[in-house]
């Protein structure tokens, strides 16, 4: 099978890049981490935003970014912060390994690079949590290097522009090659952001606004009236449903029992109420065997459902109230209810607490 009809000429690529940059100059999005025309991009802000935007929408990231930047305004401030503070600031954004890598990266930038992010992709790739996409984005946007940053938006734009029939993810190397061939020597950072903006606002997954697109003329998918069928994707398999139990222990003085998950693995280093193992064959009828304390446990109506990247989860929630002198079990701590907002609680635990405590 031919994955792309034929390679674009250098002239075609140059003209397409020029058209895209002209469109970007008129329609660029104003984002809190993006330098305005004439401003010098801040590598720290570029890096922070790109890490936050992985698997997360711009709308969701904006308030987190602004609060995070106010709390840790420089890479030095972030490196010096305790990990618990970083996890608290990240809580709710999901994909929590990003926060741990973010903190480790900040420490390495300070310790190894004197607080300055390296400009070259190879050096950037040696930092924790920075892969090919993020390295390309930082190199291009923050340092003006000829580099590519291929995210989902860019994959969609380029697969339509060239009618790439090979499905994702196997088409990723080809799309990266096509994108690199199009990057201009001048303004590679603006080009990277222009492709992102085009995919986010014009070349959308459904009902793309082809009539407004600066790349409409050379777009092969549009010419064939097949834009919405690209990019082609391999069939995705959904993980098997897992079940478990969550235990919300309340003390008579209004404190809630929490503990911290192990630093490695799913939701590593985050706070949680005590929970059972999460298994597809978990027997809810025997859940009280996993309770952290012996007590008058009662099951809340219904369940809490949450979807992780690789599997859906269904939790039965149990609540019980204990005397004011009750000691926490090993690894647990009693937290005042009014302090829960400051804990590094992932979304699934916030759902559990909302069901148990009523918000």
Is the distance from CB of 99 to CB of 90 less than 8 angstroms?
yes
Question: CA-CA distance, 140 to 124, in Å (whole number)?
Answer: 12
Angle between helices 83-90 and 97-113 (to 10 degrees): 130
Given the residues 15, 39, 50, 76, the one annotated as active site: 50
Q: Say if residue 27 is exposed, middle or buried (CB neighbours under 10 Å; 0-12, 13-18, 19+).
A: middle
Which residue, among 136, 129, 69, 66, has the nearest Cα to 96 in the 3D structure? 129
Q: How many residues does the chain have?
A: 359
User: CA triplet 157, 163, 167: central angle to 5 degrees?
Assistant: 85
177 is catalytic: no
Instruction: Name 301's Cβ contacts closer than 8 Å, sequence gap at least 6.
Output: none
Tokens of 287: 């859940």
Question: CA-CA distance, 112 to 117, in Å (whole number)?
Answer: 10
DSSP H or E segment with residue 334: strand 332-336
Instruction: Name 140's Cβ contacts closer than 8 Å, sequence gap at least 6.
Output: 146, 147, 148, 149, 183, 188, 189, 191, 192
Residues annotated as catalytic (active site), given as ranges: 50
């Amino acid at each position: 099978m031919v994955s792309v009809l034929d390679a674009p000429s250098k002239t075609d690529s140059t003209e397409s890049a020029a058209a895209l940059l002209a469109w970007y100059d008129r329609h660029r999005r104003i984002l809190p981490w993006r330098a305005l025309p004439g401003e010098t991009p801040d590598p720290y802000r570029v890096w922070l935003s790109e890490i936050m935007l992985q698997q997360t929408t711009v709308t969701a990231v904006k308030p987190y970014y602004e609060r995070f930047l106010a709390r840790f305004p420089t890479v030095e401030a972030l490196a010096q912060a305790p990990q618990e503070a970083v996890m608290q600031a990240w809580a709710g954004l999901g994909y929590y390994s990003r926060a741990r890598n973010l903190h480790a990266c900040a420490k390495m930038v300070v310790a190894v690079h004197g607080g300055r992010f390296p400009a070259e992709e190879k050096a950037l790739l040696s930092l924790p949590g920075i892969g090919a996409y993020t390295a390309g984005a930082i190199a291009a946007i923050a340092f003006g290097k000829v580099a590519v940053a291929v995210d989902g938006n860019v994959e969609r734009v380029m697969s339509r522009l060239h009618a790439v029939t090979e499905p994702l993810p196997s088409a990723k190397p080809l799309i990266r090659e096509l994108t690199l061939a199009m990057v201009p020597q001048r303004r590679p950072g603006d080009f990277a952001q222009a492709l992102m903006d085009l995919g986010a606002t014009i070349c959308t997954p459904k009902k793309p606004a082809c009539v407004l697109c600066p790349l409409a003329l050379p777009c092969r998918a549009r010419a064939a009236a097949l834009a919405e069928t690209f990019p082609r994707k391999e069939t995705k398999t959904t993980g098997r449903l897992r079940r478990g139990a969550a235990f919300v222990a309340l003390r008579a003085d209004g404190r809630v029992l929490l503990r911290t998950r192990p630093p490695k693995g799913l939701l590593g280093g985050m706070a949680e109420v005590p929970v059972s193992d999460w298994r597809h064959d978990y027997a809810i009828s025997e859940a009280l065997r996993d309770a952290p304390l012996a007590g008058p446990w009662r099951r809340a109506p219904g369940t809490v459902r949450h979807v992780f990247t690789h599997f859906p989860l269904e939790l039965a929630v149990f609540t019980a109230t204990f005397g004011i002198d009750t000691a926490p079990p090993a690894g647990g701590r009693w937290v005042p209810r009014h302090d829960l907002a400051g804990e590094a609680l992932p979304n699934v635990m916030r759902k559990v607490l909302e069901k148990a405590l009523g918000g």
